[in-house]
Structure 1
Amino acid sequence: MSLNTFNAKKTLSVGNKQYEYYSLPEAQGLGDISRLPVTLKILLENLLRFEDDNTVKAADIKALAGWADNAPAAEEIAFRPARVLMQDFTGVPGVADLAAMRSAVVDAGLDPNIINPLSPVDLVIDHSVMVDKFGTDESFDENVALEMQRNGERYRFLRWGQTAFENFSVVPPGTGICHQVNLEYLAKAVWTKEEDGKTVAYPDTLVGTDSHTTMINGLGVLGWGVGGIEAEAAMLGQPISMLIPEVVGFKLTGSVGEGITATDVVLVVVEMLRAKGVVGKFVEFYGAGLDNLSLADQATIANMAPEYGATCGFFPIDSETLNYLRLTNRDPDTVALVEAYCKAQGIFRDENTVDPVYTDTLELDLSTVVPSLAGPKRPQDRVAMTDLKRAFSEALELYGRQKPASVDVPGEDYKLTDGDVVIAAITSCTNTSNPAVMLGAGLVAQKALAKGLKVKPWVKTSLAPGSKVVTEYLEATNLQEALDDLGFNLVGYGCTTCIGNSGPLPEHISSAIESNDLVVASVLSGNRNFEGRVHQEVRTNWLASPPLVVAYALAGTTSIDLSSEPIGQDQNGNDVMLADIWPSNQEIRDVVDQVSVAMFDRQYADVFTGPPAWQAIEVDSGGTYGWEDSTYIKQPPFFAVGGDQTQSIGVNGARILAVLGDSVTTDHISPAGAIQPDSPAGHYLQQAGVDVKEFNSYGSRRGNHEVMMRGTFANIRIRNEMVPSLEGGYTKHIPSGDEISIYDAAVRYAGEGTPLVVIGGKEYGTGSSRDWAAKGTRLLGVKAVLVESFERIHRSNLIGMGVLPLQFKAGDSRQSLGLTGDEIIDVQLPDGATETPRQEIKVVIHRADGSEQTVMVDSRLDTDNEIAYYKSGGILQYVLNNLVAAAA
């Protein structure tokens, strides 16, 4: 219970119901908070509700209330989200950690039930379906059967977790993408719970184990992605420590023009905010332009907050939010509460809303947006559709080619050429949640068929909706039939191509690519296109709206300007332009109006039941998991009751495992995509008796640390500057000079008792919130990571695993210091210093010629809580120690 120092606890009447809540306007002693950004008002309510004079003090509340006068503030606050969202790739290791903590507790003679989520947790199985089969009516059934076959051990484990843990629900496979299920069903905008005989109302907030948790910001729900490590701690009652954020206001004006999609808008937003620099900041959208965006459009923009680097991309609750809650069949009492509560709290946007005060602002006139894609390997690199032909030509030059090469495709009567589209995928939560772009894609398909156009034979096509509602409205409008006729048949409900589950290319296409080292392309409606992510044989990857995905599948190449060159020829041999098959905005509105409440009612009526194959899984009902001999699930090695709590800031005699450049992503660090047979992980699986065709993906094996540590830093596109002649997960062992895999080098160093460090550049750890990027780093024996700057989530995850994040001071870098990887590194506190947040740390560089150099760097242990987590060897060991101490 809150101390209620500011007398904020009040009663709200909605209809015939009474709710207790913490009123922001009526809180006493906080000054004028009317123009605080809405996101900060939500954080302020959270502090008022959890004030305990320990994790939340009155001074913290005053610091946040006075943000506008004190920004940027350096104060640390403790945020407790209402709930946690997981997907199965990141959720499996999370559940495995909880199960391992229970095993550790039982080994200590204590009750395993002291390990239980304290906040509601929803895990949606959405990352495991792969596009093995495509282009036929049987594709969905065949892919689902393969998914269940491959993932039986994982799914049995999750079924156990569903029965063993309280406050833990699982949305079975074949239902949808976690962020779309969250948007369409799980989220409430305002949450309630029973406490001391009263119903307490408070903002719906969350953290999720996927970067794109921010999609729910489009519904006015404050939430963001965290690593699985931090999410598990939140589940177990630990507050999320954070500095009071800077909030950048993004003003939207005007409305989009004819033929412009929400995808085009978000790619401009990503480009603008990356250029602005909003890493670690909140972004809040405001302005009259919001009146011209549907809620699905807002969710599209909010989804890509990780791509523009922000913690969140928030849209306030308004009348459009209420309309969406009604459309998606939310309970009428919930909708009434959302409206009344938000108006009472001063967080409801309407025509009378006064613009908040922000740290900084920028502005976009929506009428200036043009059709766009992003690529070839970063989502922030927007390219106008009219410039794609030139952009691909420039990308081709980076691969040493001045003009495109072609090769005959074995057994076919066509050639494959640099720039050809070999994957065209309508996929990803970003866009499949948006009826306008999904139905727009169907209209493009319908109009193309009427002109006699067909998808080029070298294109692998797929449609992976984010929920079954999408299938229902595509079928109700007769547009699924048109998509099927072009090869965009349903392949599954999940993330598929956007997270590397694109499946194999047809063998003859793969052979043609390999025979001449072709630089081919994918076009996908996803949010991520980092190197090696979509498919390891596809070097250029372009993000686009679903209608453009269909268009480029028809064109078959990215070496084309679709604004001026024909997309194909009709039945009479006449040129067909993109404009000839592109639907008008009114045509799209007409079909979007056919999306109904009844569709959401039907498709979410039994969301937790799952298909028969899921229901048939037999599980042990015990409170602890019976760790089996599995190559999918192994007991994590991270936990021990009474574990060491004295890890100090420092490391001596460390060797450098890798020297990496700028923009090294968690896709580069963490195991992702296909497991190569001739890799440490591939060798391990084969030695365990797993056939190569049964390898599955790294993501599906996240519950096995032996596989994952072997795949850490093993991305085929990573470049370690210690071995400039090699691409991939290699390094040079010192002092032998042997050039070997990073995993093999780490094993050798461990045998020699040598600690390790990793050196990097700017934006280290960008991308998805992959906990294994940190877990694998620790298991390889890395004690510290020293870089020019960190992405927010990865820095937090490193701390969560007891790895020290260090940052070069401005002007210093691996280049300026001449680091080659041959050095020995000592990391030390300055003499007489105690451990404090963000303090200076002394790094001594011992060079191969016997010389030494000392430089000062900054500790990125930013808060007192982070120091406590680090000293315990990680956040989960810290939680375990506290739970055991409380239960003893």
Structure 2
Amino acid sequence: MANREFEATLQVGEAGYTYYPVSAVEGAERLPYALTVLLENVLRNGATPAEARILADRVAAAGLAGEQGAEVEFMPARVLLQDFTGVPVFVDFAVMREACAALGGDPAVINPQVPCDLVIDHSVIADEAGCAGSLAANMGLEFERNRERYEFLKWAQESFRNVRIVPPGMGICHQLNIEEFASVVMASPAGAVGADGTPVVYFDTLVGTDSHTPTANGLGVLGWGVGGIEAEAAALGQSITTLVPPVVGVELTGALAPGVTAMDVALTFAKMLRERGVVGCFVECFGEGVAALSATQRACIANMTPEYGCTCTLFPVDGRTLDYLRLTGRSAEQVALVEAYAKAQGLWGDPDAVPRVYADVLRLDLGTVTPSVAGPSRPHDLIARAEAAERFAAICAERGLDDRTVTVDILGEPHELTHGALAIAAVTSCTTATDPAMMLAAGVLARNAAARGLRPAPWVKTILAPGSRATELLLERAGLLEGLQALGFYTCGFGCMSCIGNSGPVMGALHDVADDIELASVLSGNRNFEGRISPDVAQNYLTAPANVIAYALAGTMAVDLERDPLGVDATGNPVYLADIAPDPAEVAALAERFVTADLYEEGTRGMYEGDAAWQALGAEPSATFAWDDDSTYVRCPPYFDGMTRAVTPPAPVADAAVLGYFGDFITTDHISPAGAIASDSPAARYLEGHGVEPAAFNTYGSRRGNHEVMMRGTFANVKLMNKLAEGRRGGWTRDVLRGGLATVFDAAEHYADHDVPSIILAGKMYGSGSSRDWAAKGPSLLGVRAVIAESFERIHRSNLIGMGILPLQFLEGQSAEGLGLDGTEGYTVGGIDFSAGLPEPAVVEVRATRPDGTETAFEARVRIDTPTEGRYYENGGILPFVLRDLVARG
């Protein structure tokens, strides 16, 4: 913070601060809010005043033209981690310390330079659900399975600076971020002061290793999801390079009709923005309708940013933001600072302010939003709730499903089920649990249903996973927890659970018929990709929590909630949704009475202490970690094996075999290991070879600290369709050296044994979905040197470069299929020079040689978009680049 040229003084009450006013740049008052934050960042963090001025002009020029601009450096103020992605981050830090020592450096230089908050929220599984003891049982199993990981995290907390870890059982990272971590405006710690000795004040910004980090955008906090690889670099003090993005504005007008929820708006956004196409863009909301949304409703909408495909969905700061900050325990001084700074820097939501410049403006009248569901496998497939039954029937017809029924035995009673039978109904965290109104509405509906004698269909697994302790406490104080429990919605964990596939087993009788009929799930989360919620469930639908409970009562997705009865009461009379629907006035009254500051104070009390099991974990601080060769959870990865201080450019891609040939919309869920470890998989063979019984396999997510397991689970999703696998779904491919089918891992091992590199061929939107670092780490360890796709999702493309994998994009109008490629060819990529940072040439020739010697030559665009990305790739990835830089600086 040495750019004194741009400093100014901000007085807030009795306190004085130094800040970097964006008004120093001409036209700043017309920039979108998001670029205002980016502009302040480059003014403050530019290495010299001259550099800061150049970067600021780039931001302003692009923003005022409504276009994508040149590369700038962004330095987030903090990093947010969850445990699935956080464990490998600290594993990488630990191995970097060893590599640093091997290169003659001081291991202590490998240390987070900005605050890092890690929340253990992704490990709990709903093994037990629907009963009073499910929370205790699941937490006990969680510790039993994950003790090695948690001991490692305890060591990390003690051995690295700037690290806070929230133990299991407190909530999810996104909800705790807005309830506890986010400050909206930050003041520098002691020592970082302006010329007059006052603290420097700046925007709270962050990156997170979960793609739903933009939840905080609802408070006016600019942040987005990145891969663990990029987050590691940011934590170590490396700025994130980004092209100044085009910003798409969404003008909101009107107000939500009674009974319409923030979830309905989020799903509407997903459809609207996917149709517009906002990949690579920032999105931000403005207009008089913004004031009609609470801070938590905004957070719910922003949470689903990855489902729209954009980088962030930013809301301005206004009175609603300040109300929420007061409510969640921020001091009066902090709230005053937020208001003063937001107004001084132009982030205050003022409808009468100078209009902002946007690349495009979409408009949404909130009054037109209706109750909705989305599915069966994509969040942007919006369906009006009133049309859901009709659409479900059409989906079954499109899939060629017949009218078959099966008979299942549930507790000694036979039941006839058909397609759409509901296996899982989950009121789960992330998208909806941040909003008290939606959770209260679900509780009221459950209470009303229980009072009429209704119960969920006996085959439905009922899951309640609040996003924080405050959420459960709210339901308890409002007298609604009892009604939820009467319907089997007992709290079974404070974690992401169903939304990430930790649903646990479905009822045994349904598992037995999962191949005979298409089972369904309904959840109040944000992800419903194929195979994600449960391997037994074919169709997954997203909706508001109250709708989840209504569908659970009916037991099927084939029900019309508007017209069909959900069940019968004790006297045999039909009960309809309208009979038990929550009264919006009652929900508002409950919120007014029970959503209070002391609710959040009690909900976060003891957040960092953990229970007795956590406190009993021993960990002594040390410069390097003592790796356990017998561990099957935490292993020392080979990323730096053979590394030298000198940069060795990557070898050309020559005669590479195709490891996978995929179609459109291959998500990181398809690529990255996730969910249960199948008993017949390469990962299972590895674990059994190390003495692990199948019952103790745990999940891929829990074993992300073991590269041996993770590389074996890469491209192993049960729903993945590889065009080389002859119609067989899952982790299969054709071994072009041997001929015949093999698991992806076995084929990759065979190629490695013969020094044959591999590539991936893919269609549009390759790498959509969560910001999974293992979707890049896994392919890298399998020997993948390049991915040639029709288009890439933003985060995954960056992650590929971060792991030294070359992203190549077919030219417009071309595709692997259109070029007549079948994946049996050997691929050679023309030489690329990175000495100037950007690739030269930017479009490279690729030759595909068939087994008979004939060739197809085509051109592909090198998707290394910034000089910094070029330096990362030339170094073999972002971590070798950072390590060399830190060693060189001593």
TM exceeds 0.5? yes
SS of the equivalent of 2:787 reads strand
Q: Does 1:848 align with 2:859?
A: no
Taking a change above 3 Å as real, the CA distance of residues 66 and 137 of structure 1, as seen in their structure-2 partners, is same
Report deviation, 1:271.
0.3
Alpha-carbon contact 1:24-1:45 (below 8 Å) kept: yes
5 Å matches for 1:600-639? 600-628=600-628, 629-639=630-640
5 Å matches for 1:41-190? 41-53=36-48, 56-190=51-185
Report deviation, 1:509.
2.6
Equivalent in 729, 732, 740 of residue 730 of structure 1: 732
Q: Does 1:864 align with 2:862?
A: no
Structure 2 residue aligned with 1:537: 536
Q: Does 1:883 align with 2:886?
A: yes
SS of the equivalent of 2:200 reads strand
Report deviation, 1:477.
0.6
TM-score after normalising by structure 1: 0.97
Q: Distance in 1 between matches of 2:679 and 2:646?
A: 38
Q: Does 1:234 align with 2:237?
A: no
Q: Does 1:365 align with 2:368?
A: no
Alpha-carbon contact 2:520-2:537 (below 8 Å) kept: yes
Alpha-carbon contact 1:649-1:804 (below 8 Å) kept: no
Structure 1 residue aligned with 2:877: 874
SS of the equivalent of 1:84 reads strand
Q: Distance in 1 between matches of 2:437 and 2:763?
A: 40
Structure 2 residue aligned with 1:714: 716
Structure 1 residue aligned with 2:290: 290
Alpha-carbon contact 2:408-2:509 (below 8 Å) kept: no
TM-score after normalising by structure 2: 0.97
Report deviation, 1:579.
1.0
Equivalent in 671, 674, 679 of residue 673 of structure 2: 671
Taking a change above 3 Å as real, the CA distance of residues 663 and 56 of structure 1, as seen in their structure-2 partners, is farther
Alpha-carbon contact 1:129-1:494 (below 8 Å) kept: yes
Worse-matched range after superposition: 666-675 or 406-415: 406-415
Taking a change above 3 Å as real, the CA distance of residues 155 and 55 of structure 1, as seen in their structure-2 partners, is farther
Structure 2 residue aligned with 1:393: 393
Report deviation, 1:2.
3.3
Q: Distance in 2 between matches of 1:861 and 1:341?
A: 37
5 Å matches for 1:332-371? 332-371=332-371
Post-superposition CA distance 1:764-814 (Å, at most 9, x none): 000000000000010010000000000000000000000000000001101
SS of the equivalent of 1:413 reads strand
Structure 1 residue aligned with 2:742: 740
Worse-matched range after superposition: 709-718 or 250-259: 250-259
Report deviation, 1:833.
10
Alpha-carbon contact 2:405-2:418 (below 8 Å) kept: yes
Match for 2:703: what amino acid?
R
Structure 2 residue aligned with 1:378: 378
Alpha-carbon contact 2:424-2:462 (below 8 Å) kept: yes
Alpha-carbon contact 2:103-2:644 (below 8 Å) kept: no
Q: Distance in 2 between matches of 1:473 and 1:618?
A: 34
Alpha-carbon contact 1:416-1:512 (below 8 Å) kept: no
Structure 2 residue aligned with 1:22: 20
Number of residue-to-residue matches in the alignment: 880
Taking a change above 3 Å as real, the CA distance of residues 830 and 191 of structure 1, as seen in their structure-2 partners, is closer
Q: Distance in 2 between matches of 1:772 and 1:785?
A: 15
Q: Distance in 2 between matches of 1:153 and 1:270?
A: 39
Report deviation, 1:74.
3.5
Report deviation, 1:830.
7.1
Report deviation, 1:398.
4.6
Alpha-carbon contact 1:746-1:780 (below 8 Å) kept: yes
SS of the equivalent of 1:211 reads coil
Match for 1:134: what amino acid?
A
SS of the equivalent of 1:870 reads helix
Structure 1 residue aligned with 2:450: 449
5 Å matches for 1:497-536? 497-514=498-515, 517-536=516-535
Match for 2:798: what amino acid?
S
Report deviation, 1:428.
2.1
Worse-matched range after superposition: 404-413 or 106-115: 404-413
Structure 1 residue aligned with 2:418: 417
5 Å matches for 1:584-603? 584-593=583-592, 594-603=594-603
SS of the equivalent of 1:462 reads strand
Taking a change above 3 Å as real, the CA distance of residues 418 and 829 of structure 1, as seen in their structure-2 partners, is same
Q: Distance in 2 between matches of 1:177 and 1:830?
A: 43
Worse-matched range after superposition: 581-590 or 538-547: 581-590
Post-superposition CA distance 1:59-83 (Å, at most 9, x none): 2211212224444244100000000
Match for 2:851: what amino acid?
A
Structure 2 residue aligned with 1:812: 814
> Sequence identity of aligned pairs in percent?
49
Taking a change above 3 Å as real, the CA distance of residues 643 and 790 of structure 1, as seen in their structure-2 partners, is farther
Structure 2 residue aligned with 1:198: 198
Q: Distance in 2 between matches of 1:795 and 1:650?
A: 19
Q: Distance in 1 between matches of 2:726 and 2:526?
A: 30
Q: Distance in 1 between matches of 2:477 and 2:652?
A: 63
Post-superposition CA distance 1:281-337 (Å, at most 9, x none): 000001111111111110000000000001000101000000000011111111010
Q: Distance in 2 between matches of 1:643 and 1:698?
A: 34
Match for 1:185: what amino acid?
E
5 Å matches for 1:622-661? 622-628=622-628, 629-640=630-641, 642=644, 645-648=647-650, 650-661=652-663
Alpha-carbon contact 2:9-2:19 (below 8 Å) kept: yes
Report deviation, 1:405.
2.5
Post-superposition CA distance 1:559-595 (Å, at most 9, x none): 1111111111122212211111111221110111121
Worse-matched range after superposition: 531-540 or 377-386: 377-386
Alpha-carbon contact 1:428-1:527 (below 8 Å) kept: no
Report deviation, 1:529.
0.4
Worse-matched range after superposition: 646-655 or 206-215: 646-655
Q: Distance in 2 between matches of 1:160 and 1:97?
A: 14
Q: Distance in 1 between matches of 2:491 and 2:283?
A: 35
Report deviation, 1:622.
1.6
Q: Does 1:701 align with 2:703?
A: yes
Equivalent in 753, 766, 769 of residue 768 of structure 2: 766
Report deviation, 1:261.
1.0
The two structures, once aligned, show a CA RMSD in angstroms of: 1.6
Match for 1:545: what amino acid?
A
Report deviation, 1:101.
0.5
Q: Distance in 1 between matches of 2:372 and 2:359?
A: 29
Report deviation, 1:58.
2.4
Structure 1 residue aligned with 2:752: 750
Point out where structure 1 has 5 or more consecutive residues left out of the alignment. none
Taking a change above 3 Å as real, the CA distance of residues 643 and 537 of structure 1, as seen in their structure-2 partners, is farther
SS of the equivalent of 1:572 reads coil
Q: Does 1:793 align with 2:791?
A: no
Alpha-carbon contact 2:423-2:521 (below 8 Å) kept: yes
Q: Distance in 1 between matches of 2:801 and 2:3?
A: 31
Q: Distance in 1 between matches of 2:11 and 2:53?
A: 28
Alpha-carbon contact 1:830-1:842 (below 8 Å) kept: no
Q: Does 1:245 align with 2:245?
A: yes
Alpha-carbon contact 1:653-1:754 (below 8 Å) kept: yes
Worse-matched range after superposition: 292-301 or 382-391: 382-391
Taking a change above 3 Å as real, the CA distance of residues 691 and 831 of structure 1, as seen in their structure-2 partners, is closer
SS of the equivalent of 2:812 reads coil
Match for 1:102: what amino acid?
R
Report deviation, 1:602.
1.7
Report deviation, 1:184.
0.3
SS of the equivalent of 1:361 reads strand
Q: Distance in 1 between matches of 2:210 and 2:714?
A: 19
